Structure 1
Amino acid sequence: MQKLLLLSIGAALALPQTGLATEVTGAEIGLSYSTLADGNARDVNKTTLGGAIELGFGPQFSVQGDIATRYFDGIDETGKNATAHAIYHLPGDMAVGAFIGKDWLDGQSVEYTGLETAGAMGQISYEAAFTHMDADGAHGNQLGLQANYALNPQLDLGGRFDTLHAEGDDMSRLSATAGYRINPGTMLTGELGFVDGDGMDAESFVGIGLKATFGATGGVTFGGRGLQEFLPGL
């Protein structure tokens, strides 16, 4: 999959030389904060600053790049993350993609690849992704699902479910989400949920964020990927 994705991105980057128009179709930048809600665990929190940009190569194909930096207060460390997506846009406001990326934290790294899809049906938008992770020979798989319902032009309500199965360790998170559009290009987000894993009690967490979007499509096709993005507050 890694070779196929890299070849697809390379082919896309070569397309402008053949006369096919290339344009920035969307971009976004956001700042978010999440923390475990238990009073004895509120020093376990995460602050994220990230952005993404998407380049279109004709009406069907695009590539998206994401970068993020995160500060984890509980371990006093700063992590970084980068992801590249190759995306094919289908009729009916649906897209499928493949991605490759890497997390860096405390001198260690996690490489990941995966498949993803996103789309909309009326007032409902959805996104799903399967991720395979590799950290120095240790492997894990993650499945993420999320959906939103637009109550009106300003307010979205939704939910998110993620599960991670690693060698000898499983973890899952379930949350309710909300988004309020301050104006057409700026959204305030919120999340309330639970995270549970082997050897730990279920912990509640809360998150809040502010996101600005740009471009004709109102942002980028896919959300962030990787282990650091999966962990709420941790």
Structure 2
Amino acid sequence: MNRLSVLAFVAALAATPALAEMTGASLDFGHSFFTEDSGIAKTSLGGSAEFAFSPMIGVQGDLGLAKLREIDDTATAFALHGLFYVNQQTALGVFYGVDDLDGDNVDFYGFEVGQRSDTFEVEAYVGRTESSGLTGSMMGVEGRLQTMGSFGVGGKVQHVDMEGIDATRFGVTGDYSLPNGFALTAELGAVNSDDLGLDGTEPYIGIGARFDFGMNRGTSFSRRSILGVAPGL
């Protein structure tokens, strides 16, 4: 499936909102920085909303805004997901999105699969990137396990390989959730890259907050973005 067919599919779903019911949404705020140079930092704000057209078909939309401290610029991200619900816990999807930084756009599209229950969440994706006629690849997997009480732990691995960026991010995550859907989040990890102003493997720290609401308390998938691989720029 190429970029145009992915975009046509998710756009066709998004074009009929009157037939859809919102099943969940999420808002998030985060700040991340490299431990060896806290000036290389990123502050982000974003959200996602999911709508179901039937017990089997749905759509998810993502919006994000990131302030990149090192280069003193602001990036935006937008993505649409076309969803197929295998059952109440498992979803398959295709996605298409655009990241914009200082007028330069990167298109990305691909496939994803996710599973959620009361005690765990896991998702994986693989996709392609396109920018100025050049193509690249992106992939990732992340998961979360509910532990005692309101605490959750998890991990993630993300990789992007495109013109000007070849980076792998891996991190350990933790969160404390309240019954109303509000959660405080933290992440400790590292990015391996010789691009992005880095030299080899650099550790980072991330802190943030998230609010999940709606019938399903959140969305089937996390937000998609190329810049999500980089904790700070």
TM-score using structure 1 length? 0.90
Task: State the percentage of identical aligned residues.
Answer: 30
- Name the residue aligned to 1:4: 5
Question: What SS class does the counterpart of residue 39 from structure 2 fall into?
Answer: coil
SS at match of 1:5: helix
Structure 2: stretches of 5+ with no match in the other structure:
none
Superposed, 1:215-234 pairs within 5 Å as 215-234=214-233
**2:174 counterpart residue number:** 178
Most deviating of 63-72 and 130-139: 130-139
Displacement of 1:171: 1.4
1:4-153 matches, within 5 Å, as 4-13=5-14, 21-38=19-36, 41-91=37-87, 93-120=89-116, 123-153=119-149
| CA 1:153–1:8: 2 relative to 1, 3 Å | farther
Deviation at 1:165, TM superposition (A): 2.3
| Shift in alpha-carbon separation, 1:13–1:223, aligned structure 2, 3 A | closer
Report the TM-score, using the length of structure 2 for normalisation: 0.91
- Name the residue aligned to 2:205: 206
**Deviations 1:22-64 (CA, angstroms, capped at 9, x unpaired):** 21111111111000011xx111000001111111101111111
Whole-angstrom CA distance in 1 between matches of 2:118 and 2:180: 18
Unaligned runs of 5+ in 1: none
Aligned length: 229
Deviations 1:133-161 (A, max 9, x none): 11112222111011111113411101111
| SS of 1:3 mapped into structure 2 | helix
Give the CA RMSD over aligned residues. 2.0
Q: Which amino acid aligns with 1:26?
A: G
Deviations 1:75-118 (A, max 9, x none): 00001010000011112511010000101112211111111111
Displacement of 1:12 in angstroms is 3.1
Q: CA deviation at 1:168?
A: 7.5
Answer with 204-213 or 151-160: which moved more: 151-160
